[in-house]
């Protein structure tokens, strides 16, 4: 490397001072009802509950794809599990463990358990504020 790359370059810029749009409204601490010899303390306890604090994707990508496909065909196209089984067989989808044709009772189980899982993960909880305290303390 040459020396010119090692030396920092100093660039000077001239700046022009802008006119300020700030107006003095005579707002100072002396206009306040509280004198500056007091501290204001606000304390509270915030309870947040969520079902998404742990790992929510225990399914493999194949299982997720299969569930989304079954859900789409069942809910959007209103196809029976037997019809879905035939469609998946034509598209060469197989069971995960035994690598066999996916039967309608397997699809029913996949669909029901997937819906339960979705409902469990997507639950909504209300946040709660408790033990609210407001204190004004005098400084000594």
Q: Where are the domains of the chain?
A: 61-121
Q: Coil, strand or helix: which one is 114?
A: helix
For residue 49, what pLDDT is reported? 85
pLDDT tens-digit map of 92-113: 999 988 999 999 999 999 999 9
Q: Sorting pLDDT into bands at 50, 70 and 90, what band is 81?
A: very high
Q: Minimum mean pLDDT among 17-21, 34-38, 45-49, 120-124: which range?
A: 17-21
Give the SS3 label for residue 47.
strand
Whether 126 shows a pLDDT value over 60: the answer reads yes
Q: Are 94 and 66 in contact (CB under 8 A)?
A: no
d(CA 72, CA 114): 12
Please state whether 26 falls in left (phi above 0), alpha (psi between -120 and 50) or beta: left
Cβ atoms of 111 and 18 closer than 8 Å = no
pLDDT of 15 > 80? The answer is no
pLDDT at position 85 is 95
DSSP code at position 33: S
How far is it, in rounded angstroms, from Cα 80 to Cα 86?
10
* Assigned token pair, 1: 């490397």
């Amino acid at each position: 490397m040459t020396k010119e790359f090692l030396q920092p370059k100093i660039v000077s810029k001239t700046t022009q001072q802008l006119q300020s749009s700030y107006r003095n409204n005579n707002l100072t601490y002396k206009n306040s009802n509280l004198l500056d010899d007091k501290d204001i303390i606000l304390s509270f306890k915030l309870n947040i509950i969520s079902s998404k604090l742990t790992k929510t994707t225990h399914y493999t990508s194949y299982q997720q794809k299969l569930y989304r496909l079954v859900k789409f065909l069942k809910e959007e196209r209103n196809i029976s599990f037997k019809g879905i089984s035939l469609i998946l067989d034509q598209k060469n989808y197989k069971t995960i463990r035994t690598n066999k044709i996916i039967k309608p009772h397997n699809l029913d189980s996949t669909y029901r358990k997937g819906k339960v899982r979705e409902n469990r993960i997507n639950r909504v909880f209300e946040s709660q504020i408790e033990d609210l305290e407001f204190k004004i303390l005098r400084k000594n």
